[in-house]
Structure 1
């Protein structure tokens, strides 16, 4: 960890670390990605082991997002009141504990319950982004925060790689146990992660804030600037009423619409990719009856489920599509820093809408994969930008709650997406893709008309 200090003055300005300060566990994005992607690689195996039907497999993912949705608000509320560090630690302990228990699940019901508990724990990982945001100065946030996507990518690729080796040899239970190791390692590293100095100042715990800043100065062989750190104590923190206050009402409502739409498009792309590549519905080369046949052979058709384990080529396809999530990261960073958060997000959302429509074009397999690759890059860029904007637009008194409620509504979009990508798309490919595109257009308009631009704007302490 390296950082230097920009002075604070007797006028009461908060001392702000200035350059790159990777204090929060960026590795938390690795853990979160592994836990979320785990369901995708384990689903075919548990389908076979417990003879599950399609809706039962889908229910696992739905319940994980349901747990995430409920506890995202709770953790955000508690983080604004009791501290980001405490909630982040609790979420890691919670997630690692229930993830390990999942590997011993004796039945499908227990598996669903335990994965729901994992979803509850993972929802608190966003506090790592809040801590990082509150330590980074304005000029570096637009560059450093998007790099979190690299760690999400690393976690996704890691779980896919592990699954390709472990599942065929020693089974899915050992995959879950091995996947829990990074989270356990990060728990042991928590003593190196300080509480947000901004949060400590807002609660009147100035000595703790100064101790953190002095620790940073010592590590950088710098001298603390002269002056006194003075800031009013903020008693009213983490209140839902503040999110809907007249000053932030419009911003909050538009942010919620954007989060819901981005999540809907993100998981829609992932699920639609599998449907389009498997069934070749775009060119209509296969009839409805042929689609049914391709799901399994005659023996599988006699059982309540179609047991199809991933082949090496399936893992390769997952890796290629996942790499797409970082393809636009350099352009995304440039757009965020030079065009601003609002304009950058409106452009990427508009392009996402366009590429959903382009999927209707009858093209070759390579062309289809190319469209899907670009779409995956665009939806990842959308997430990058809205994460940064949400963390920056709210003051310290309700920053974690603002992120928590947004993350909660985000999961509603994730729970609706499967019904569009897998149910509606089977009936009307045009209808499903047009619906995804329409939602993206609404989000693009909402992003462009956001009342506050956070580019070059210092983090607010109070509303």
Structure 2
């Protein structure tokens, strides 16, 4: 038999296949997001400057808010005001805060956090100075309402800090911002003890405007949020900001190209009530309202307890009424009772309480989580409101007020952090703004409980404060999202 011949075509085909070289595949270029850039750059000198400048917004805000508590006796005497008229001043301040908090939140998500923060400080400083020239009670109420409108934009400073901080540092650095609020509160009380008895409450307001004016000039050192810039499509500005931060921190940027989706729909109220966030939003609003109600209730109740001696055994040097001008107290139908030096000391001691639980608050936030930590501190706040009814000495009263201030400050720390973390960039400022707005409803009601109801039924007022705190504790415990260790979300 003859051997079968191999087909030459097959040989050629195999040879062609073996010799053929594959076409080169295009290499994918590396990309990174703002979140990855922030984490890669890490914490450094830029964040320290950011902490000092943006944190100092708390000094200005605390001085403007606490101002009402320390000048209330003076304006009561000067214009012969009744209890409800004194309470109305605080209520109207928070009414302005409530209305503009939502407006500033909407504008910040659409036009930028930095711009709104700058405008709010200009607004607040201008109307605060005008307040010192108020010719009458009506003008005083109106101008302080305008100050409240401006102060509502200060929360954008916290959002800028949150959006620049790496994840693991947020739970530590944001609670430390309470130091600035404490400094502002102590500063206004200390100034009031010296300025009001000597040159009057009008000069106190003028001096209190100075920190806000200084901060306006310091804002130029802080850039717009890189997360906001990329959400609007301004990638170059975001990249320039991140490179500047990396240079200040002596760090490096991630390799590749900055890529983020452009968010066409930003700052929409409907997003807060979307199915994904509806329950979270409603519960956050309840918590903010309750925390504010308790916080300002404690502040105003402290002043009221000192001014009117509503707790047995807590009588102070303020028993001696101080008249204004040539008016005698017997000629005035209103209660005219100025703070004595011991009352200012008591206010300072109780205010220092706001920093007392900060180390424990930081540990709780970072190890127990935001929800459980907030639930515990709210429950303890309710307990100490009830303990305030115990017949005690002046030292006992100071101790209870000290713990209450510590607890309500811890509550505010935690809910601020949680709200800034739970919402994505497209609605973060609006989420904070609406929460701050709802929170002012609690602040508006608090004066009438602390300054009016408390005079009629001390126990009834305390039970009301405690009940609200219990509701907030339950709401915090059942929040659907835990943000501990979670990266900030860019989109829904």
> Do Structure 1 and Structure 2 share a fold, with TM-score over 0.5?
yes
Residue 103 of structure 1 deviates from its aligned partner by 1.6
Provide the residue aligned with 1:2 in structure 2.
2
Superimposed CA distance per residue, residues 393-436 of structure 1 (whole angstroms, 9 cap, x where no aligned partner): 00000000010111111111111112222333333322222221
- Given that 1:295 and 1:306 are in contact with CA atoms closer than 8 Å, whether structure 2 keeps it comes out as no
Separation (CA, whole Å) in 2 of partners of 1:282 and 1:210: 59
419 and 206 in structure 1: CA distance in 2 versus 1, 3 angstrom threshold = same
Structure 1 segments unaligned to the other structure (5+ residues): 4-15, 20-28
Separation (CA, whole Å) in 1 of partners of 2:92 and 2:294: 19
Residue 230 of structure 1 deviates from its aligned partner by 0.4
Bigger shift: residues 317-326 or 100-109: 100-109
Superimposed CA distance per residue, residues 239-281 of structure 1 (whole angstroms, 9 cap, x where no aligned partner): 0100000000000000000001111111222233344455554
Provide the residue aligned with 2:69 in structure 1.
40
Residue 389 of structure 1 deviates from its aligned partner by 0.3
Ranges of 4+ aligned residues in structure 1 off by more than 6 Å: 16-19, 284-298
1:188-227 mapped onto 2 (5 Å cutoff): 188-227=217-256
Bigger shift: residues 434-443 or 298-307: 298-307
Superimposed CA distance per residue, residues 31-85 of structure 1 (whole angstroms, 9 cap, x where no aligned partner): 0001111112222222222232222222211111110010000000100011000
Residue 209 of structure 1 deviates from its aligned partner by 0.3
88 and 389 in structure 1: CA distance in 2 versus 1, 3 angstrom threshold = same
Bigger shift: residues 102-111 or 70-79: 102-111
75 and 17 in structure 1: CA distance in 2 versus 1, 3 angstrom threshold = farther
113 and 289 in structure 1: CA distance in 2 versus 1, 3 angstrom threshold = closer
Bigger shift: residues 264-273 or 179-188: 264-273
- Measured on the aligned residues, the alpha-carbon RMSD in Å equals 8.4
**SS of the residue aligned with 2:258?**
coil
Separation (CA, whole Å) in 1 of partners of 2:434 and 2:241: 29
Separation (CA, whole Å) in 2 of partners of 1:277 and 1:221: 52
Residue 215 of structure 1 deviates from its aligned partner by 0.8
- Given that 1:98 and 1:117 are in contact with CA atoms closer than 8 Å, whether structure 2 keeps it comes out as yes
The alignment of Structure 1 onto Structure 2 pairs a total of residues equal to 442
- Given that 1:2 and 1:216 are in contact with CA atoms closer than 8 Å, whether structure 2 keeps it comes out as no
Q: 2:210 aligns with which of 181, 190, 210?
A: 181
Residue 332 of structure 1 deviates from its aligned partner by 0.4
- Given that 2:63 and 2:185 are in contact with CA atoms closer than 8 Å, whether structure 1 keeps it comes out as yes
Provide the residue aligned with 1:12 in structure 2.
none
- Pair 1:18 & 2:47 matched: no
Separation (CA, whole Å) in 1 of partners of 2:213 and 2:317: 47
- Pair 1:147 & 2:173 matched: no
Superimposed CA distance per residue, residues 257-307 of structure 1 (whole angstroms, 9 cap, x where no aligned partner): 000111111122223334445555455999999999999999524313222
Superimposed CA distance per residue, residues 184-209 of structure 1 (whole angstroms, 9 cap, x where no aligned partner): 11111121010000000111100000
Separation (CA, whole Å) in 1 of partners of 2:134 and 2:24: 46
106 and 365 in structure 1: CA distance in 2 versus 1, 3 angstrom threshold = closer
- Given that 1:33 and 1:156 are in contact with CA atoms closer than 8 Å, whether structure 2 keeps it comes out as yes
Provide the residue aligned with 1:119 in structure 2.
148
- Given that 2:69 and 2:303 are in contact with CA atoms closer than 8 Å, whether structure 1 keeps it comes out as no
- Given that 1:52 and 1:304 are in contact with CA atoms closer than 8 Å, whether structure 2 keeps it comes out as no
Separation (CA, whole Å) in 2 of partners of 1:31 and 1:393: 27
TM-score, scaled relative to structure 1:
0.89
**SS of the residue aligned with 1:398?**
helix
Separation (CA, whole Å) in 1 of partners of 2:206 and 2:291: 31
Separation (CA, whole Å) in 2 of partners of 1:198 and 1:146: 22
55 and 425 in structure 1: CA distance in 2 versus 1, 3 angstrom threshold = closer
Residue 152 of structure 1 deviates from its aligned partner by 0.3
Separation (CA, whole Å) in 2 of partners of 1:18 and 1:339: 49
2 and 302 in structure 1: CA distance in 2 versus 1, 3 angstrom threshold = farther
**SS of the residue aligned with 2:426?**
coil
Superimposed CA distance per residue, residues 319-352 of structure 1 (whole angstroms, 9 cap, x where no aligned partner): 1111111110110001000000000000001111
Provide the residue aligned with 1:461 in structure 2.
490
TM-score, scaled relative to structure 2:
0.84
Superimposed CA distance per residue, residues 428-458 of structure 1 (whole angstroms, 9 cap, x where no aligned partner): 3222222211111111010000000000000
- Given that 1:296 and 1:307 are in contact with CA atoms closer than 8 Å, whether structure 2 keeps it comes out as no
17 and 298 in structure 1: CA distance in 2 versus 1, 3 angstrom threshold = farther
295 and 436 in structure 1: CA distance in 2 versus 1, 3 angstrom threshold = farther
- Given that 1:2 and 1:219 are in contact with CA atoms closer than 8 Å, whether structure 2 keeps it comes out as no
Superimposed CA distance per residue, residues 333-375 of structure 1 (whole angstroms, 9 cap, x where no aligned partner): 0100000000000000111111122223333332232122111
Structure 2 segments unaligned to the other structure (5+ residues): 4-22, 27-57
Separation (CA, whole Å) in 1 of partners of 2:425 and 2:167: 15
Residue 91 of structure 1 deviates from its aligned partner by 0.3
Separation (CA, whole Å) in 1 of partners of 2:280 and 2:405: 27
268 and 65 in structure 1: CA distance in 2 versus 1, 3 angstrom threshold = same
